[in-house]
Amino acid sequence: MRTKLFFFVIMFVTIAGYAQQDAQFTQYMYNTININPAYAGSRGALSIFGLYRTQWIGLDGAPETSSFSINTPINNSNLGVGLSLVNDKIGPTNENNISADISYTVQTSADFKLSFGIKGTANIFNLDVNKLNPSEQGDPQFQDLNNKFSPNVGAGVYWHSDKAYIGLSVPNFIETNRYSDNDIAIYKDKINYYLMAGYVFDLDKLQYIKFKPAVLTKMVEGAPLQVDVSANFMFIDKLVLGVAYRWSASLSAMAGFQITDGLYIGYGYDRETTNLNNYNSGSHEIFLRYEFFKNNGKMTTPRFF
C-alpha cells in the first residue's frame, strides 16, 4: 500500500511537471530575465520586477508562482547584472530558484546590440509530507525529499534594439532528478530551450499607436513543442492591450498601464482550450515593474519589452 501511494503521488507531480517543467508566464516579455540571462541590464535602467500567477483556479494542487527580480547595467561598462527569485508551488511540492545573472553587451550596428549572458541558480526543493497522508509516518523515502538543494547553470544571447529583439537561451543545462526509486529517475527537471522574438511597428506618424507581435517557443525533450504567439497594442505610450495564444493549450487577454515614467502595472488572464477547461475557471497573472532612469529620472524611449 505504501509503494502504491508513493507511485500515485509521483505520477501526479510528474504530470504537472511534464506539462510545464520551468514555471510559465503569459507576460514573459516583461519577465525575460527569468529565461534569458543576457537580458540583464538591457533596458538601461535599474529595473525591479514582481509577479504573482495563480493557475487553473478551482483545481486542487494547481501551480502557483511568485517571481521577483532586479537587474541593472553597470555604469561605464558593457556589463549588466541581475538577481531573481522564483517560488513555484505544485500540489505537495514547493520549489525555490535563486538566480544570479551577468551579461556582456557589444554594439553591432547603429541600432542593435548583442548581449551574452550567464546564469547561476540555486534550487531548493521541498515535498510537504503532511499533504500526502502516508500510511506509515516517518517513512524515510519521503523524508529524503525535503529541502533538497541542487545547483545549475544557464546561458543565453539577446540581440536587440529599441524596436526589435531576438533571444536564444537555456536557463538550466543540468538535468536534475527530483524523484527516484531504487536509483531509477521517476521525474527529472529536463533542459528547456527557448527562442523568442518580437518587433514594434508604428501605426501612425505621431507614434501614438504601436503594434508588437511576438513569439516564444520552448522545446523540452519528451514533450510537445510549446509555441506562444502574442499581439499587443500600445496607445500614447501609456495603455497596452493584447491577446496571446499558447498553441493547443490556452487563449489569453493582457492589459497594462504606464502609471508614471518608472512604474508599470500589467495583468493577464488565461483560459484553457483543452479539456482541462472543464475543471478550472482560468489563470490570473499580475505584475509590477519599477525603474530608475539616469536621465533626470525620465524614460527617454518607452520600451514595449
pLDDT at position 11 over 50: no
What residue type is 211 in one-letter code? F
pLDDT at position 301 over 60: no
pLDDT of residue 132: 66
Q: What is the pLDDT of residues 139-164, one digit of tens each?
A: 555 555 677 889 999 999 999 999 99
C-alpha to C-alpha distance for 239 and 58, rounded to whole angstroms: 31
C-alpha cell at 89: 508551488
- Write the CB contacts of 230 (distance below 8 Å, at least 6 apart in sequence): 29, 213, 214, 215, 242, 243, 244, 245, 252, 254
Percent of the chain that is helix, strand, coil (3-state, to 5): 15, 55, 35
Among all chains, which residue has been given the C-alpha cell 536621465?
A: 295
How long, in residues, is the chain?
Answer: 305
Q: What is the average per-residue pLDDT within 261-275? A: 94
pLDDT of residue 159: 97
C-alpha to C-alpha distance for 279 and 275, rounded to whole angstroms: 8
Q: What is the average per-residue pLDDT within 173-178? A: 79
What residue type is 298 in one-letter code? K
pLDDT at position 15 over 50: no
**Which of the pair, 236 or 140, is modelled with greater confidence?**
236
- 31: DSSP letter: -
pLDDT of residue 183: 54
Q: What is the pLDDT of residues 105-118, one digit of tens each?
A: 999 999 999 999 99
Q: Write down the number of H helices and E strands in the chain.
A: 2, 17
C-alpha to C-alpha distance for 7 and 95, rounded to whole angstroms: 20
Integer CA distances (angstroms), 187 to 25, 133, 145, 232, in order: 22, 21, 12, 37
What residue type is 281 in one-letter code? S
pLDDT at position 91 over 90: no
pLDDT band with cut points at 50, 70 and 90 for residue 76: confident
Cα 247 versus chain centre, distance: 17
**Per-position DSSP letters for 92-153, written without gaps between them:** TEEEEEEEEEEEEEEE-SSS-EEEEEEEEEEEEEEE-GGGT--SSTT-HHHHTTTTEEEEEE
pLDDT at position 62 over 80: yes
Residue (of 176, 173, 156, 154) closest to 165 by Cα position: 156
Question: Of 77-81, 105-109, 146-150, 266-270, which gets the smallest average pLDDT?
Answer: 146-150
pLDDT at position 81 over 70: yes
C-alpha to C-alpha distance for 90 and 293, rounded to whole angstroms: 37
Greatest mean pLDDT range, 13-22, 177-186, 242-251: 242-251
pLDDT of residue 302: 58
Three-state secondary-structure class, residue 32: helix
Q: What is the average per-residue pLDDT within 235-249? A: 94
Backbone phi and psi for residue 302, each to the nearest 5 degrees, phi listed first: -55, 130
pLDDT of residue 298: 54
Residue (of 203, 95, 100, 105) closest to 150 by Cα position: 95
pLDDT of residue 92: 85
- Whether the CB-CB separation of 285 and 57 falls below 8 Å is answered with no
pLDDT of residue 176: 76
Residue 279: half-sphere exposure toward Cβ, Cα within 13 Å: 8
Greatest mean pLDDT range, 17-21, 66-70, 290-294: 66-70
C-alpha to C-alpha distance for 111 and 200, rounded to whole angstroms: 14
Average pLDDT across the chain, whole number: 85
Q: Which domains does the chain have, with CATH numbers?
A: 35-132+147-292 (2.40.160.40)
Question: What is the value of pTM for the model shown?
Answer: 0.85
